Structure 1
Amino acid sequence: MDAQNRGRPRGGGTPSEITLSCFLLILIIGVCCVHALEMSTGKVPFLEAVNGSTVLIPCTYASCIGIKDLYFKWEFNDNGTMQKVADSVIPMDNVEPSKVNVYRERVEYVGSSKRNNISFLLWNVTFEDAGVYTCFGKNPKEKDKNHSAIFTLYVVEELRVVDNTLTIIIASCVGGFIAFLMAFMLLKNFTLFVLAKLEEKNKECLVTSSGIDNTENGLSGSKTTPKKA
Structure 2
Amino acid sequence: MFRGACHPSVLVSSSSCVLLLLVVGGVGALEVSTGKVSTVEAINGSTVLLPCTYSSCIGIKNLYFNWHYDDNGTMLKLCEAVIPMEGVEPKVSVFHERVEFVGSSKSNNISILLWNITFEDQGAYLCFARNEKEKFRNHTAVFTLLVVDQIKELDKSLTVIIVSVLGAVIGFSIIFMVIKGLVVHFLLSGDEKTKECLVSSGIDNTENGVSGARADSKAPPKA
Q: TM-score normalised to the size of structure 2?
A: 0.78
The separation in 2 between residues aligned to 1:219 and 1:166, in whole angstroms, is 72
CA-to-aligned-CA distance 1:103-131 (integer Å, 9 cap, x gap): 22311222211121111111221111100
Deviation at 1:157, TM superposition (A): 2.4
Which residue of 52, 55, 58 corresponds with 2:51? 58
The separation in 2 between residues aligned to 1:27 and 1:113, in whole angstroms, is 23
Which residue of 64, 67, 81 corresponds with 1:88? 81
Residue 140 of structure 1 corresponds to which residue in structure 2? Answer: 132
Deviation at 1:82, TM superposition (A): 2.0
Residue 34 of structure 2 corresponds to which residue in structure 1? Answer: 41
CA distance 1:194–1:223, shift in 2 (3 Å): same
RMSD, aligned CA: 2.8
Identity value in percent? 51
Deviation at 1:26, TM superposition (A): 6.5
Residue 175 of structure 2 corresponds to which residue in structure 1? Answer: 183
- Please tell me the residue identity of whatever aligns with 2:204: I
Deviation at 1:69, TM superposition (A): 0.4
- Please tell me the residue identity of whatever aligns with 2:96: R
Which structure ranks higher in relative contact order (CA pairs < 8 Å, sequence separation ≥ 6)? 2
The separation in 2 between residues aligned to 1:136 and 1:158, in whole angstroms, is 31
Deviation at 1:181, TM superposition (A): 1.9
The separation in 2 between residues aligned to 1:85 and 1:103, in whole angstroms, is 5
The separation in 2 between residues aligned to 1:218 and 1:104, in whole angstroms, is 109
- 1:214–1:222 contact (8 Å) kept in structure 2: no
Q: SS in structure 2 opposite 1:67?
A: coil
CA-to-aligned-CA distance 1:76-114 (integer Å, 9 cap, x gap): 1111222221111110101012x3222223112222111
The separation in 2 between residues aligned to 1:36 and 1:168, in whole angstroms, is 50
The separation in 2 between residues aligned to 1:114 and 1:66, in whole angstroms, is 12
Deviation at 1:58, TM superposition (A): 1.3
- 1:74–1:85 contact (8 Å) kept in structure 2: yes
Deviation at 1:151, TM superposition (A): 0.9
Deviation at 1:28, TM superposition (A): 4.8
Residue 31 of structure 1 corresponds to which residue in structure 2? Answer: 20
Runs (4+) of structure 1 exceeding 4 A deviation are: 25-28, 217-229
The separation in 2 between residues aligned to 1:189 and 1:35, in whole angstroms, is 64
Which residue of 148, 153, 156 corresponds with 1:161? 153
The separation in 1 between residues aligned to 2:105 and 2:175, in whole angstroms, is 57
Residue 150 of structure 1 corresponds to which residue in structure 2? Answer: 142
Question: Which stretches in structure 2 are left out of the alignment for 5+ residues?
Answer: 1-13
